Structure 1
C-alpha cells in the first residue's frame, strides 16, 4: 500500500515537525509495511528531521512539490514548475493521498497557501486517487472561487477530519456535507507520551517557559506588535521581581526574517537593561523538547503547539491567543479562563491571570491530565477513520459518537 501526505514540512517549525512525526508513527502503527510518500517543499531538511528522530527511511520517499504556490518566486517559469511531473507520478501510484496533516485552511494571512494545498487534492481527483483532508484546521477562506473549490473538493473527498469542533462547524457553512466532516483533535496528541511527565522537583526559583512570535501583519498593526512586546517585557520584569523566576525561551520557528529567535533577541536586549535575561532552549530530538517543557513550572504560550505541548506535559500555562485556533482549543476544553486575546493584552491582565494560574496550578494540572486523555483518544481516531475509508467499511461507532458538528 502506498500512502502519500503533504504539509509544510522541513521548515524549522516545531508544530509542523510534531505533526509529521506523529502522523508517520500513527500510519506505521496501523500499516507497518506501507510505503510512505512525503510531499515537501524542503526534502533535504525533511530528511534531516527524520534522521534526527531516528526514523528509518526504509519505504519512505521524499518528493519535492513546490513551496506555497504553483510557481516558485525568483525562478524561471519552466524551472518553477518542475515539481509537477513527480507529483502527478506519485499521486497516480498512491492508494490514498492525505492533505495536511494539521494545516490551517485559510487565505487571510497567506493568499497563495490555500490554493497550494487544494491544487494537490485537485490533481489527485483528476488522476483518480482517493484523497482526504487529514487533521485540518480552518480559519477564514475569502473569495468565491476559493470557497467553491474547497466545497467541491471537500464533498468529493473520502472524509474531512478536523483538529477542533469549531473548524468542523465552520466547514458546514461552506455546504460541505456534514457526513464527510469529523471533529477530532490535533494529530500531535496521537502519540502516547514516552514517559509520564511529572515536571521537575519544586525549587525555590520557578522556571517559566515562554514562546512569542511576530504577529501576522495582515491582521495586526505595528501598534499591536509594539504593545505585545512592551507587555511581555514588563511582565517578565514583574515575574523576576516577585517570583525570582528564571526565564526560558522556546524558539518554535527559526527560518526567515520572522524567526522567533530574532524577536527573542529584541526582547532580551530590553530585558537586560533591567538586569533580567532569558535563556534560549535547544533540543534534538523532539522528545528532548517535551522533557524541557515538562521541567517548567509555568508557561506563557503564544505559539499554538506550545499550548498543546503544555497540555501534553501538564505544565500550567497562559495562552496568548493571536488566532481563533488557540481560543477555540481553550474554549472547547474549558480552559478559557487562562486565555488572553492578543488585542487585549496588558501588564495588568497578565499579572491577574498569572496569579490566578499560580494559585490554582495543582488543580490545573489535574485538569490538563483529563484534557490530554480526551485529546489523545480523539486524535487516534484519525487513523481509525483512514482505515475504515480505505477498507470501504462502516465507520467505527466511537467515531460516529464524537461531538456533533451542528448546533
Structure 2
C-alpha cells in the first residue's frame, strides 16, 4: 500500500500564482457544466425538453469532450502546454457564447457539443501542467485548491447564475461565464510561463503512433479504467438534482441558490483539509472512506421525502464531503502513473474516457428517470441512487490497483519518480 509522504518545501510565489490561475480556470469550466443542473428545471420547461432530451444535452458535452480528447492525445505532448491550454480555452469561450445565444433545444444541443470539443480537454492539460511542475507529495494540496473550482462554482457561480437566470433568463449565466473566462485567459497569456520540459523527451515522430503506444500500455490502462468509473456516478446523479429537489422534495426555485451556496461553502472548507490529508496518509484509505460515506448519503439523498430546507442542506453537505474525499486522492494518485514523455497523451485519454463514461451515465440516467408532466415528481430517482452506489463500490477496486502501481513505481524506480521530475521542472519556476 501507499506509504505516507514526507513534508515538502513551501510553494514558490510563481507556483502559488499557477495554482490560483488553474483553480480559476477550472472554476469557469466546471461552472459551465455544473450550471446545467440547477437550470435543468427551467430548461426543461422553457424549451419543452423531456428528461431523456435533457440527458442528451448533458451527455452531448461529455461525448464531444471525449472524442476531442482522444483526437488531441497524440499531439498533447508535442506542444508547449501553455499554448495548448490557451488554444482550447479560447475555443471553450466561443462555445459558451454560442450556448448563451441558443434559443431552441437543437441549438443548445449543438452549442454544448462545440463547448465540449474544447472544454473537455482543458482539465487534462491542467493536470499535465500540475504533474510537470509539482512533486507527487505536493499534488494533494494542489488538487485540493484546484478542485475548489467545483466548490466555488456552488458558492459564487451557481447562486449568481441562478439569480441572473431568474432576472434575465437562462442565457445570462453563460454570458457571465464568457466575461469571466476572457479575463482569466488574458492572465494565462500574460503571466504564465511556458511548460515545455517534456518536449526534449519526445522520440516518436508520428502523433498517432504516440497515441497507440500510450493506449496499449498495460499500466496506463488501469488508470484509464479507474478514472472513467470515477465520473459515472456524478454524471448520473447531478443533472436531475434541481428537478428532483423542486418536484419531489418540494424545494422552491428561489431556495435553490441557498442550497448550492451552503454546500459550496462547506466544500471550500472540506477540500483543503482532504488535500492535506491525502499528502499525509494513504490516498487509497482516504478514497475508500469517502466512497463508503458517499454510498450511504446517496441512498439517503435519492430517497428523501419532502423535508425542511435545513435537512436538504445538511444531507447535501455530508454527501459532497464523501464525494470530495474520493475525487482528490484518486486524481492525485492517477498523476503518478504516466511517464513525463507520455503525460499529455495519458491525461487527454484519461479525460476522454472519463467524459465518455460520464456521458453514458447521463444517458442511462435519462432512461431510468421519468417525469409524466412538467411539474410531476421524478419517478425512479431512488433506483438511480442504487445504481450510482453500485458504481461507487466498483470504483474502489480500480483505485486500489492504481495505489499499488503508484507504490511500486516509488519503490522500484526512485530515480524516475514524479517527485524527481517535479524537482527538475521546478528549476524553471523558482523565484
- TM above 0.5, yes or no, is no
Tell me the TM-score normalised to structure 1 length: 0.29
Structure with the largest fraction of helix? 2
TM-score by length of 2: 0.28
- Between Structure 1 and Structure 2, the one with more strand by share is 1
Structure having greater relative contact order (Cα 8 Å, sep ≥ 6): 2
